[in-house]
Structure 1
Amino acid sequence: MDVFVPQRFGLHLCEYLLIIEPIDQVQKHLQGFKQYFLKNHRYPNAIVSKSHMTLMRFIQYDSYEKHIIKELQLLASTVAPFDVELQGFGSFGHTLFVDVKSTAPILGLVSKRRRELRPLVNGIKGHPPYFVTKPHITIARKLTPPQNEAIWPIWRRTKYNGVFRAKNMTLLKRMMGTHTYAVVAKFNFLDMSPRFSQGKLFA
């Protein structure tokens, strides 16, 4: 996932990602796992860009962007920073990932304003929005069955524990047909009451 300075788009169809990024030593550990994967397995499947956990993914016209940002600001203002505990590795068969032990705060965050967000992110027929149900941080993806059979017995025995403090979430986008994401906005978790935060945001 490459990130660059945001550009001013017109009314275009875009893919959006809402993510939480690990910080400090945990981010370094995760990047180290990706580099190890590339060096030792020699499969071009590792995601060598900055590690992140996807909360939501959707396709929408960027004319909806201001409304989406407003809803995400309101959501983030009511969320308290929380610890994310990582423990061990997991596999979906085609994806190798670091597993998230403390799933409740993450799943709760996504579900808080799903009803308000869904009309804004569910506008493209055949492309329903993705809301996280199994929090994880990808190390490598698009593995073939033989690749997975070769690496999973090694990684399933590998132990790892890490904790980082989630203080914000970031919205990214890329125009359909392109490969580079732009940072749209970062939303700090402010732990304010809903009534107070709404007054601050929409006064």
Structure 2
Amino acid sequence: MTGYADYLFLLSPPQTVVNEVARYKKASVKYIGDFQSMNSPAHISLAHIERQKTFFTEQTISLTEQRVAIMPPVLLHIDGFKYFNHLHDKKTIYAAIRNSTAVDAWFELMKKNLGVKKAIIPHITVCRNITDEQFKTLWPNFRHKKWTEPFWAAELTVTRRETFEPYAKWQTVKNIPFRGNKSLQYHTETNSDKQVNLF
């Protein structure tokens, strides 16, 4: 125990979505071999805070819980696949979350409650930080793949791992249910044309 820890604040989709993302990861390995994030469970990252004194962060989490707990749950829709460009010709393929005014407003409120300064682009990573060559091999299989699926994000999960432990794993510290007024629930359209055939 070093006294320093990294914290990740995230939303966890239901097991059906976790399983489907795992299937896409496994199918991707057949095309490009091992890659970063291939064993990570599906989630939506909201904030990643590194090298924090644990006693200080526990107080911060407690204060954050008071603000976050009064937020309403939000209905999100997976809507196909997109990708991010990174430095050094690296890319990340992800399952996109459909934009809407209401969903954007919910994430802006979450951003404020977590004290996050940079923009939150809600997404579920499939293949993180792959090379340009791997991307060119893989992307044609994702490019026109239709996967639309709604799910409720009903709680915030806080995870932690030791900063200076090379093999440290993320462990859940707290799950904070959203207990806000259900009449204020944020949602997008509820129609779904779910197609989950793998490539």
**Normalised-by-shorter TM-score class:** 0.7 to 0.9
Deviation at 1:48, TM superposition (A): 1.9
| Aligned equivalents of 1:117, 1:157: Cα separation in 2 | 35
Report the residue type matching 2:62 in the other structure.
K
Output the TM-score relative to the length of structure 2: 0.76
Output the TM-score relative to the length of structure 1: 0.74
| Aligned equivalents of 1:86, 1:174: Cα separation in 2 | 28
2:176 corresponds in structure 1 to 187
Report the residue type matching 2:23 in the other structure.
G
Range with bigger deviation, 184-193 or 87-96: 184-193
SS at match of 2:6: strand
Report the residue type matching 2:152 in the other structure.
R
Which string of whole-angstrom CA distances, capped at 9 and with x for unpartnered residues, describes residues 107-132 of structure 1? Answer: 544543656654xxxxxxxxxx6755
Q: How does 1:35-114 map to 2 (within 5 A)?
A: 35-59=26-50, 60-93=52-85, 94-102=91-99, 107-112=104-109
Question: Which consecutive residues of structure 1, in runs of 5 or more, have no partner in the other structure?
Answer: 1-8, 119-128, 194-203
Please report the RMSD computed on the Cα atoms of aligned residues, expressed in angstroms: 2.5
Range with bigger deviation, 104-113 or 55-64: 104-113
| Aligned equivalents of 1:186, 1:48: Cα separation in 2 | 22
Which string of whole-angstrom CA distances, capped at 9 and with x for unpartnered residues, describes residues 154-192 of structure 1? Answer: 211211111111110100111113331121111000015
CA change 1:115–1:76 in 2 (3 A) is closer
Do the aligned residues in 2 keep the contact of 1:95 with 1:138 (CA within 8 Å)? yes
CA change 1:61–1:90 in 2 (3 A) is same
| Aligned equivalents of 1:171, 1:64: Cα separation in 2 | 15
Report the residue type matching 1:100 in the other structure.
I
Q: How does 1:117-128 map to 2 (within 5 A)?
A: 117-118=114-115
CA change 1:117–1:160 in 2 (3 A) is closer
| Aligned equivalents of 1:115, 1:45: Cα separation in 2 | 30
Report the residue type matching 1:112 in the other structure.
L
Report the residue type matching 2:94 in the other structure.
F
SS at match of 1:71: helix
Do the aligned residues in 1 keep the contact of 2:32 with 2:137 (CA within 8 Å)? no
Range with bigger deviation, 156-165 or 98-107: 98-107
| Aligned equivalents of 2:133, 2:25: Cα separation in 1 | 19
